[in-house]
Amino acid sequence: MARCSTGALAALTALLCGCLIAQASFGASPDIAAADKLQLRMPRSLGAGGSEPAAPPAQYAESAADATASQLSTSDRPNAVSASPNPDEPPALLAHVTQEPPGPAASSIWVRAMAWLLYAIVLLIVIYTVRHYAFALNRLFGRQRQPFIDIDVADWPTVTVFIAAHNEERVIADCIGALLEVDYPTERLLIVPVNDRSTDRTHAIIEEIAARHPRRVAPFHRESGKPGKAAALKDASAGVTSEVVLVFDADYIPGRGLVKQLTAPFFDPEVGAVMGRVVPFNTGTNLLTRLLDLERSGGYQVDQQARMNLDLVPQYGGTVGGVRRSALLAVGGWRDDSLTEDTDITYRLLIGGWKTVYQNRSECYEEVPEDWQVRLRQIMRWAKGHDQACIVHARALLACPLLSARQKIDGALLLGVFLMSPILILAWLLAITLYFLGGSELLGASIALIVMASYGCLGNFAAFFEIAAACRLDGTYGRIRLLPLNIFGFLVSMIGITRATGSLFMDWALRRELIWHKTQRYRTGNGN
């Protein structure tokens, strides 16, 4: 029974997810499927349970032998054992698999070890799945927290807005223009375009605007130094004296109230960072942008806000957000060796006793990748940086005395989220290997759970539920129909993330320096 579930459901998963490895493995053995069909009728106690191989009872074995013997021959299946003419003996194929254990005790230990590893992965996947459901249900039915969004009048702190810009001639003017129009005391707001080694007209455009607004725009041009946003921000921060530092990417177009909204949480002395919601504006370009729009909705509207509601670990996202300068300095400032400075700073602040606040209503448009290669590069950078943060901060996070158990668990799960793709692939390989090594008896009926949970982790049930909940909260019902296609986006991400994880370990082994890749822009300027 269990073996049958293994074969059928794993094959189903392989087909559903387009996993070529799994397809190849299962496609090679139609005979096993036939044997499995026969085993489907076996009493459960015989198919699953103990570690000792179980022979089918005679009444089933007979028909099994008939069925398999008619299909098998030593010529076309060299590895198979010929069917036995004796009806009392188990069918040939079952004999191969179950009556001849794969090896001595040592191999049995390996099988058991793999099975337990698979169990552990299943547990992990189930935890993530439950987490996704809990977040979505919280957003739909729970108490919503936006404690600072109502602060509209106050003695506002001084703010510096960094606009990270590397070859942003298409978009930089729009971003600075929008910031010049925001509703914030002008004498307390300084706009600093951080031009990081641009080779296009970015430098000239920034200077042109700064000349028109000399007291409000103070450009920072960086001609050399370590590449990457974190390195650029680190250099630019040296001259900053304001209490709050907000960071925007050059492709963002902030609304009038955004700076006040993002600054308001800093009246809470426990808040070290704040994050707003990014909304793709090039949604309609192609299927990829539409899928990314769904993904972003789920990520911000549901995931981030639920973590805020539940007092867990909302994440500072690097843009449409900001940090308290004193908190930043207290935890060591920007790190230029980090590929994802946002994750890195979130965890350093968290461990240092500073909270990150997510404000779902502080929305800002951004551009999402329009072709799969750019998307792949983006997700690989995120994965690499995130995994890097995981290595650096996991231990300190779990040991932090200021955090509750819930925050530690959520923080750890968030840190490990990009490790799940390679782990999931490992789970598939383990499931397939165990199936062929006869380890499925060890797995029992839980194999169904493995498959369901694996599929869920890829983004269908749990993550898809988050996306659907997000669409409902946003009131955009038409785009929910695209949900099944998101599986392709998740698959691409899975491949990219797995590659990035491998590359990170190679970098570490070969002591290679991590390289920051900028995400390509598509806008042509003037808000187009």
Partner 1 sequence: MESETLWAALLFAAFALLNGIALLPAIGEWRARRDAQPLKVVREYDGNVRFFARSFATFVDRQFGDVLVQCRQDGLARDGILSDGQAFHVAPASGRPVIRQDEHRARRVQRMVLGCGPLLLPDELMFEREIYSDGSIRGGRRGIYRALLSKSHIALGEASAVLRWSHAEGTFVSAPASVLFGRVSAERSITLRARTCFTRLHAPVIWFGGGAERPTRAFGLSRLAPHSLSGAFDTRGGRALVKGDIEIPPRTRIEGALVATGRVRIGREAWVSGNVKGGKGVYVEAGAWVDGALISGGAAHIEGSSWINGPIVAERHVSVGRNCRLGSPDKPTTVSAEAILIALDVTAYGTVWARVTGRVGDG
Where do contacts with partner 1 occur on this chain (CB under 8 A)? Answer: 12, 15-16, 30, 33-34, 71, 145, 147-155, 178, 182-183, 253-257, 260-261, 264, 267-270, 272, 279-284, 287, 290, 293, 297, 324, 326-327, 329-331, 352-354, 363-365, 401-402, 474, 476-479, 481-485
Closest to partner 1 by CB, 98 or 263: 263
- Closest approach of Cβ 187 to partner 1, in Å? 15
Residue whose CB is less far from partner 1, 174 or 196: 174
Instruction: Please state, in angstroms and rounded to a whole number, the distance separating the CA atoms of residues 266 and 356.
Output: 10
Residues 182, 252 contacting (CB under 8 angstroms): no
Closest CA to 39 of 13, 68, 15: 68
Q: State in angstroms the smallest separation of the CB of 366 from partner 1.
A: 10
What's the rounded Cα separation, in Å, for the pair 311 and 352?
16
Q: How many CB atoms lie within 10 A of CB 513?
A: 8
User: Which residue's CB is nearer to partner 1, number 34 or number 206?
Assistant: 34
Nearest residue (CB) to partner 1, 420 versus 458: 458
CB of 246 to partner 1, least distance (A): 16
CB of 256 to partner 1, least distance (A): 4
Which tokens is 139 given? 């957003």
Distance CA 129, CA 123 (A): 10
Q: Phi-psi category of 249—alpha, beta or left, where left has phi over 0 and alpha has psi -120 to 50?
A: beta
Q: Cβ(115)–Cβ(443) under 8 Å? A: yes
Residue 433 Cβ vs partner 1, minimum distance, rounded to whole Å:
23
Exposure pattern of 33-68 as b/e (b: 16+ CB <10 Å)? ebbbebbeebeeeebbeeeeebbbeeebbeebbebb
CA distance 447 to 29: 19
Minimum gap (Å) between residue 510 Cβ and partner 1? 37
What is the dihedral angle through the alpha carbons of 173, 174, 177, 182, rounded to the nearest 10 degrees? -150
- Between 71 and 503, whose beta carbon lies closer to partner 1? 71
CB 1, CB 37: distance < 8 Å: no
**Helices within 88-171 (DSSP H only):** 92-94, 105-141
Minimum Å distance from CB 255 to partner 1?
A: 4
Residue with Cβ nearer partner 1 (14 or 54) = 14
Q: Which is nearer to partner 1, 83 or 178 (CB)?
A: 178
CB closer to partner 1 out of 34 and 111: 34
Residue 475 Cβ, how far from partner 1 at the closest point, in Å? 9
Tell me the closest approach of the beta carbon of residue 145 to partner 1, in angstroms. Answer: 7
Bridge partners of residue 89, in order along the sequence: none
- Rounded Cα distance, 180 and 256, in Å: 9
Closer residue to partner 1 (CB): 160 or 167: 160
Q: Which is nearer to partner 1, 272 or 496 (CB)?
A: 272
Identity (one letter) of the amino acid at 133? Y
- Min CB(363)–partner 1 separation in Å: 5
Q: Rounded CA gap, 190 and 241, in Å? A: 10
Task: State how beta strands 189-196 and 321-324 pair.
Answer: unpaired
Cβ closer to partner 1: 153 or 405?
153
Q: What number of other Cβ atoms are within 10 A of residue 472's Cβ?
A: 16
The minimum distance between CB 276 and partner 1, in angstroms, equals 11
| Angstrom distance (rounded) from CA 203 to CA 219 | 9
> Parallel, antiparallel, or unpaired for β 244-249 and 159-165?
parallel
